[in-house]
Amino acid sequence: MSTQTVLRRTQSKETTQNLKSIKARARRNAAFGWIFLTPFLLFFSVSFLIPIFVSVRASVFRQVSSGGGLYGGGEKVEKFVGLANFKEVIANQEFWNGVGRVLLFGAFQIPLMIGGALALALLLDSVLVRRVGFYRLAYFIPYAVPGIVAALVWMYLYNPTFGPVAKLTGINFFDANIILLSMANMTTWTFTGYNMLIFLAALQAIPTDLYEAARLDGASEWKIVWKIKIPLVRSAALLAVLLSIIGTVQLFNEPTTIATEATWMSKSYTPMMMAYNSMMGTISPSGPGPANAVSLMMALVAGLLAFLYVLVQRKAD
């Protein structure tokens, strides 16, 4: 056997061993990856995937009396009704009235909140403010207050009998013509600080070399804000608006709390109130089926609004 043949066989064996070693290392790395990923997958499934599956399943069933007859009777049993729950939601004018109120609420509340959050972030990112950490925490504190607690605080402030804000302004904040503005103020107070942090993080990620170059070219601080800072936080604005759209569709704490004082409000004033009261059986149709159908319909509305906003934003870019 020639020397070249021996060398070729030796090289072939070494190559095979190297490939086996690489494959074994890849399998080992993949196994470690799945081990580290497993806790997230379990949490994601329990907190996200399984609830969605349960909600979709419940939306195609309805609880009916097992006894039948004119007056029903017997225990409640689940009956498969297909898309009947969704058809009732679509045909329900109260649902669309609630959607209209939510859209009107978001049309003026979201721009006001996002504009305020951006203004605060620009102020904290400027050279005018010292001790940024203190102000950042102060602006964020309202978001740390539980939503229902914040709603109760504002209920006290709005109360026409002893509320300081109502007494000072002389305004009935529970009037039908102003109730959406009252809720918008509550929501803006709660979430402006949260959105401010999103913008502030984006601003602090901008390279300072851009500011220095602009100042060397004679740009004023005002021009730096308009020509550099604001254009470079558009991705942060996209995230903030998308989160605000989803939050607006889920409007629940504020109207539910205010409804205890503003007794003229219906139990289906917003779609989430309608879903909750359907689940509790205080409005008809009631039960998990209709309630989940309302929730899934609002999820579709939120997805559609988010898609339209992203589409408009891309065209603007």
pLDDT, tens digit, 9 for 90 and up, residues 24-72: 777 887 788 888 888 888 998 888 889 889 999 999 988 877 665 555 5
Nearest CA to 298 among 109, 101, 99?
99
Average pLDDT over the chain reads: 86
DSSP string for residues in 103-123: HHHHHHHHHHHHHHHHHHHHH
Residue type for position 27: R
Mean pLDDT of 176-195: 93
Q: Helix 84-91 and helix 288-316: axis angle, to 10°?
A: 70
Model's pTM, two decimal places? 0.80
What are 230-241's pLDDT values in tens digits?
888 988 888 899
Mean pLDDT of 223-232: 88
Mean pLDDT of 103-108: 92
Mean pLDDT of 187-199: 93
* Displacement of CA 163 from its chain's centroid (Å): 31
**285 cis-preceded (ω within 30 degrees of 0):** yes
The pLDDT score that the predictor gives to residue 3 is 58
Distances (CA, A) of 60 to 83, 133, 156, 298: 6, 50, 41, 16
What are 129-163's pLDDT values in tens digits?
677 788 888 888 999 888 888 999 999 999 888 88
The pLDDT score that the predictor gives to residue 309 is 86
- 117 or 14, which is more confident? 117
